[in-house]
Amino acid sequence: MSIHRAYIMGDNICTDLIHPPDYFSLDKNRRQQGFLRGVSAKWADSIRPGAIIIGGDNFGCGSSREVTAQVFADRGVSLVLARSFARIFYRNMVNLGIPLCRYRGDHPWQHGEEIKVELDERQCRITNCQASLIYDAPSQFVQKLVASGGLLCAIDSLFSHAE
């Protein structure tokens, strides 16, 4: 179990809000300058490695640009929770090894609150002093990709074992 700071977002947070096109770059530092600028420039800079992003419905809708998922990896986001994800965004995140979980109903946490996270193969348990919820964990296939560090790492591992 680990403790992380939660950053709360709403419904329909699109990829242009997560990472505005003005910040597209091969340069990691330039990419990072754009992380969540369209959501809130005020607290985007406060997100540190290990943070948890909690969204609502249709999180990651919009374009299929992989750079949007890459900025989560660059920043060291440890988990993204949402009621639902845009399919392409979800796959891009999994392919980069970033864990995602879906939840039902409403979550009880406040922006900036520290919460405890426990992930296992069947569930994602999130707790603090006031509340505890169990979220739907991803499929075993997705969990294996994430545990491997993403799609490319999983493929590397597969071929290194074949030799």
Q: What is the CATH number of the domain that holds 52?
A: 3.20.19.10
pLDDT at residue 85 in the model: 95
pLDDT at residue 123 in the model: 56
CA-CA distance, 106 to 82, in Å (whole number)?
10
pLDDT at residue 13 in the model: 94
pLDDT at residue 12 in the model: 96
Q: What is the CB neighbour count within 10 angstroms for residue 35?
A: 23
DSSP annotation of 21 reads G
pLDDT at residue 5 in the model: 82
Structural domain span for residue 12: 2-160
**Which of 54, 17, 52 lies closest to 35, judged by CA?**
17
Q: Which two tokens stand for residue 106?
A: 């409403």
pLDDT at residue 89 in the model: 95
pLDDT at residue 64 in the model: 84
Compute φ and ψ for 62, nearest 5 degrees. 110, -135
For the chain, list residues with pLDDT below 50: none
The count of structural domains within the chain is 1
* Whole-structure pTM value: 0.80
pLDDT at residue 126 in the model: 64
pLDDT at residue 1 in the model: 59
